[in-house]
């Protein structure tokens, strides 16, 4: 499960060899620890003329204790001790025509080497479908290319994201307070070490109700969270991260994994439910358990998943059926019963684990890729339907994550999978868990209908 090569390149001998032979150089990523500052250095904030988000963003950064760099000093910092930044943020909402894209070059070009290791680049735009003219929609769509390329160029653990912020909602631009509330959780997540392995993503922030936590180090305080497949791997990391953030975790797995499940639940002061999700009575048993113990479930994380790999011509029907049933149909059945019985209250969250295989397809995984693409369909179809009820629906799509599942892949394929991304390394279960955590926060109510890849900007399906 360990990436020996990544450890080796951190040693003195390793560094020398990597340099001499031009080998991949996976940087050590900055990850979150409670109490950490959001950034390792000041943030430089720029804005296109006429942008609507610079002011709310400056307020979010200041409230989060981030030091704002002086743009005038930045323009003249080419001397012996140039200023270095923890993050570069640019409000591009003022760009209404392709000829104005030059403002991006003018802001980022002088700072291309000024970002600290594990730095952050965030560009804010307007969703193209909301733009009043084709010219503006075109220019806003162009932002994706810049961000994805910066993610590939800047290196040393720097990540880059585009956040499209709706301008039509209750959080009308005139009401900067509403914009701050809907945007704050996403900006905090993206700047922090929680998003270490998230890069090259386009995130849409809409208009759902969001609430600011009393303590940003416990953003899930008092929330009842169900995690399926919690006995090991990503699910076990999820249970830990969500409990650390203040949630009451209900950890579920199959009876055969009962001991490991009990250990996870005990470790975090959560409760364990032994249940095979594919059993015909699983949805009703689960609903009854949640209703009698907690009266509700604020966050449902559909993480349990299986693979049964074979090329399609060699695949028996059982392999197909099992994978579709565990990874997709059981999620639908459980959602239906929990929603029907109104156990997920307003402000609730449904978060599913997809995979980049569901985006790119994968040889030997027709069943798995079908199920994981179906999960994306579930998000697309349920998110608008549940908006009225104040429930958000999102998915994360992990790339190569260091777990038992990926440890079983033959060495050469495994090495290729690990390195074929902008960060030149596999992610950790905790990286997927942190992304799910952010989507689960009550503060993230304005984030719905997203599929966020946790893949280090993998080349697959990009």
How many CA atoms, within 13 angstroms, populate the side-chain half-sphere of residue 438?
32
Phi, psi of 341 (to 5 degrees): -85, 5
> Among 157, 158, 131, 156, which residue's Cα sits nearest to residue 143?
131
User: Minimum distance between the CB of residue 386 and ligand NAD, rounded to whole angstroms?
Assistant: 21
Q: Which residues bind ligand NAD (CB under 6 A)?
A: 228-229, 231-235, 253-254, 257, 276-278, 303-306, 326, 353, 355, 398, 400-401, 403-406
Phi, psi of 204 (to 5 degrees): -105, 125
User: Minimum distance between the CB of residue 410 and ligand NAD, rounded to whole angstroms?
Assistant: 15
User: Minimum distance between the CB of residue 247 and ligand NAD, rounded to whole angstroms?
Assistant: 18
Residue closer to ligand NAD, measured from CB, 33 or 404: 404
User: Minimum distance between the CB of residue 401 and ligand NAD, rounded to whole angstroms?
Assistant: 4
The set of residues, in sequence order, having a beta carbon less than 8 Å from that of 60 and lying 6+ positions away, is 180, 183, 184, 187, 188
User: Minimum distance between the CB of residue 254 and ligand NAD, rounded to whole angstroms?
Assistant: 4
User: Minimum distance between the CB of residue 429 and ligand NAD, rounded to whole angstroms?
Assistant: 6
Q: Measured on CA atoms in the order 312, 316, 318, 319, is the torsion positive or negative?
A: negative
Tokens 């997540």: give the residue. Answer: 189
Q: Render 189-222 in DSSP notation, one character per residue.
A: HHHSGGGTT--SEEEEE--------S-TTSTTTT
The greatest distance separating any two alpha carbons of the chain, rounded to the nearest whole angstrom, comes to 69
CB 404 within 8 A of CB 232: yes
> Among 293, 292, 302, 192, which residue's Cα sits nearest to residue 245?
192
DSSP 8-state code for residue 101? G
Residue closer to ligand NAD, measured from CB, 38 or 261: 261
Tokens 């392995």: give the residue. Answer: 197
Q: Which of 85, 164, 197, 368 is catalytic?
A: 368
Residue closer to ligand NAD, measured from CB, 176 or 284: 284
Could you give the angle at which helices 330-340 and 282-293 cross, rounded to 10 degrees? 40
| CA-to-CA dists, residue 373 to 206, 312, 380, angstroms | 23, 17, 11
The set of residues, in sequence order, having a beta carbon less than 8 Å from that of 346 and lying 6+ positions away, is 209, 389, 390, 391
Which residues sit opposite 134 in a β-bridge? none
| CA-to-CA dists, residue 229 to 366, 369, 451, angstroms | 22, 19, 20
Q: How far apart are CA 458 and CA 401, in angstroms?
A: 11
Q: Verify whether residue 105 is a known catalytic residue.
A: no
CB 433 within 8 A of CB 234: yes
Q: How far apart are CA 274 and CA 228, in angstroms?
A: 10
Residue closer to ligand NAD, measured from CB, 164 or 368: 368
User: Minimum distance between the CB of residue 316 and ligand NAD, rounded to whole angstroms?
Assistant: 18
User: Minimum distance between the CB of residue 233 and ligand NAD, rounded to whole angstroms?
Assistant: 2
CB 340 within 8 A of CB 267: no
Residues annotated as catalytic (active site), given as ranges: 368
């Amino acid at each position: 499960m360990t990436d020996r090569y990544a450890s080796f390149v951190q040693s003195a001998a390793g560094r020398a060899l990597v340099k001499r032979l031009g080998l991949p150089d996976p940087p050590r990523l900055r990850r979150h620890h409670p109490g950490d500052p959001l950034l390792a250095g000041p943030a430089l904030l720029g804005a296109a003329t006429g942008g609507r988000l610079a002011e709310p963003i400056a307020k979010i950064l200041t409230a989060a204790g981030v030091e704002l760099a002086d743009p005038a000093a930045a323009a003249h910092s080419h001397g012996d001790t140039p200023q270095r930044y923890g993050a570069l943020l640019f409000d591009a909402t003022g760009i209404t025509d392709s000829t104005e894209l030059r403002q991006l070059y003018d802001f980022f070009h002088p700072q291309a080497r000024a970002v600290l290791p594990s730095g952050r680049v965030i560009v804010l735009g307007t969703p193209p479908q909301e733009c009043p003219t084709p010219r503006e929609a075109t220019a806003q769509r162009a932002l994706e290319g810049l961000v994805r390329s910066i993610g590939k160029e800047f290196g040393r653990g720097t990540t880059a994201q585009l956040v499209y912020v709706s301008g039509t909602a209750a959080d009308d631009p005139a009401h900067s307070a509403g914009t701050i509330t809907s945007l704050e959780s996403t900006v905090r997540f993206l700047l922090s070490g929680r998003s270490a392995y998230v890069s090259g993503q386009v995130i849409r922030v809409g208009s759902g109700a969001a609430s600011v936590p009393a303590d940003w180090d416990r953003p899930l305080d008092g929330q009842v969270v169900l995690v399926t497949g919690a006995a090991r791997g990503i699910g076990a990391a999820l249970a830990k991260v969500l409990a650390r953030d203040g949630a009451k975790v209900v950890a579920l797995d199959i009876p055969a994994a009962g001991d490991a499940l009990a250990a996870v639940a005990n470790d975090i002061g959560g409760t364990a439910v032994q249940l095979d999700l594919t059993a015909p009575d699983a949805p009703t048993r689960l609903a009854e358990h949640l209703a009698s113990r907690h009266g509700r479930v604020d966050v449902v994380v559909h993480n349990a998943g299986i693979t049964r790999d074979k090329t399609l011509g060699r695949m028996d029907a059982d392999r197909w059926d099992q994978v579709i049933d565990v990874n997709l149909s059981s999620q639908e059945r459980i959602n239906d019963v929990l929603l029907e019985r109104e156990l997920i209250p307003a402000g609730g969250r449904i978060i599913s684990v997809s995979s980049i295989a569901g985006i790119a397809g994968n040889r030997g995984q027709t069943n798995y890729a079908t199920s994981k693409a179906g999960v994306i369909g579930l998000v697309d179809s349920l998110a608008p339907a549940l908006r009225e009820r104040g429930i958000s629906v999102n998915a994360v799509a992990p790339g190569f994550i260091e777990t038992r599942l990926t440890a079983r892949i033959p060495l050469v394929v495994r090495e290729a999978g690990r390195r074929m991304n902008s960060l030149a390394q596999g992610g950790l279960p905790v990286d997927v868990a942190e992304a799910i955590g952010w989507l689960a926060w009550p503060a993230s109510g304005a984030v719905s209908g997203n599929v966020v890849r946790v893949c280090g900007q993998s080349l697959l399906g990009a």
